[in-house]
Structure 1
Amino acid sequence: MKVSGYSGIVGRPAGTLASAAVLAALTALCGCTVQPPDGTDGKGNSPVHIELPHSRTPGGTTGPTPGGASGRSPGAAPAPTPSAVETVPPHIVFTRGDTGTGVRGLQARLRQVAWLFDGPTGTYDDLTAEAVKGFQGKRGLPQTGETDAVTWQRLQRMTHTPGKWELYLMGGQPAAAPDPRCLTGRVLCISKTSRTLRWMVDGRTVSTMSVRFGSQYTPTREGVFHIYWKSLHHVSTLYHSPMPYAMFFSGGQAVHYSYDFAARGYAGGSHGCVNVRDEAAISALFAQVRNGDKVVVYW
């Protein structure tokens, strides 16, 4: 007896036999087990999964690799070898032409390890570049003359953080706020705290320059004074040293240009005078200041 919708084998649906036949054929062709649409293996068993090759994705995770185990689609160009990948140049911290306190810090550190003897000036000039190049060559680094991140880190490890007067050894520091006594008339307003001189007229700053004072045993006097004598090519009768552009304000103490200050900065000191290291600046100042102009020396 034949029942409609069933095969000649009683109890086995016709569709089941057909599915089994298809699965068998696919298995023979592919060499693997193919999961039928109903989620079983055609015999009512649990599904069998086909594993594809996996590859490392950019995020460090893995996932199926399209195109087989090689990870490349047919006809795709081969991946570049490590030697063919462009290298990223090191980060440049400071280079020629840069200015500011960061450059002063670099120059002060180069002075600490005896690679720079001028400055700090706050400007990355040729002398600074040559000092950096020498430092790099001594330590087997590329001698570029530019301060890259590797060079900067190595220099920092070998030195200490510069103090204020290491940064401004040769001047260039910002001026302190003027003393109230400087706000009227024509005044040489001289701050010992910031080591600066402001030339002021009726409360307006005309020019500013770095200055140096007397040593511990010959201190510069503080207070309010007046210019009583100007001497362009003065030579000290006591110390026999040149004092060009001298403007005397208290006994033998004067504001004047100092060759020693220009050469050594704050590494030295005066015998009580107010030294200026910028000759062009004090030359212009000497031409403007008159006898009787006020001088205020304060902390």
Structure 2
Amino acid sequence: MHRQRVIIRTLGVATAVALAATACGPQKSESAGSSSSVSSSPTAGATPEASPSTDNKPGEASPSASASASPSPSATPSVKSIMANGDESEQVRELQARLKQLKLMTVAPTGFYGSKTTAAVKSFQSKNALTASGAVDEDTWKKIQKLSKKPTDDELRPPTVNEVDAPDPRCMTGRVMCISKESRTLAWMIDGKIVSTMDVRFGSENTPTREGEFKVDRKEKDWVSTIYHTPMPYAMFFSGGQAVHYSADFAARGYAGASHGCVNVRDKGKLSALFAQVQTGDKVVVYW
């Protein structure tokens, strides 16, 4: 990011304008990632489901690496996690929908396994005499499936607006576009109070939306990406070529696609109203 700013200052205004949209535009294909045996559909953020994790469950020792040691016939194999914090897949989306059925989650399924999902899984494990690791192993998954039903399409992708995540502490002062990657929401906040909210989507694994604290450095009501030649109405640039902007592709395909790094908004009316309120210099916070 710092390097890009230096380049922009060096090359001048004309080049800066040419670079402004280099990270944006909808991706024609879903992002790179492992293919899924559960679902070939891309998730929000365009990361297909990964194969079950081979990581050891937190707190467990790894199997001995000694070649000379003979394995004991009675040794208990390490328990492998199927889903864990940081994963993103259609299976995680199903997990979240089932946890919502069980009243352990309130946010809409996003497909990303973050802190809220970890806490919900821990709660389920504690209530069902399972090791409360926060990661889903085979026993936990089977128990969740047994106590819930297969989610409907509406449960997996609710037609309503995503529920806003708890604001990051950096969002509690001043004028802020507070953007949560976990709940996939943008909350426009002034002095700690939420004024409006809207659904958003982000870049793929290969072109991620940057996280951190930024400022709106310019606004363009009618902008077209100079690289991808796609419209970016109501663009509010905050980190080099990355901006918050309306996406017709997001409005049409939802979370079946991804941007090239920008924060896409699918509700044009809400974004138009936000664009009128946001000023150059206002804060932007992007966080998990």
Q: Give the strand-richer structure, 1 or 2.
A: 1
Higher RCO (C-alpha under 8 Å, 6+ residues apart): 2
Please indicate the TM-score interval, normalised by the length of the shorter structure: 0.3 to 0.5
TM-score (norm 1): 0.45
Bigger CA radius of gyration: 1
TM-score (norm 2): 0.47
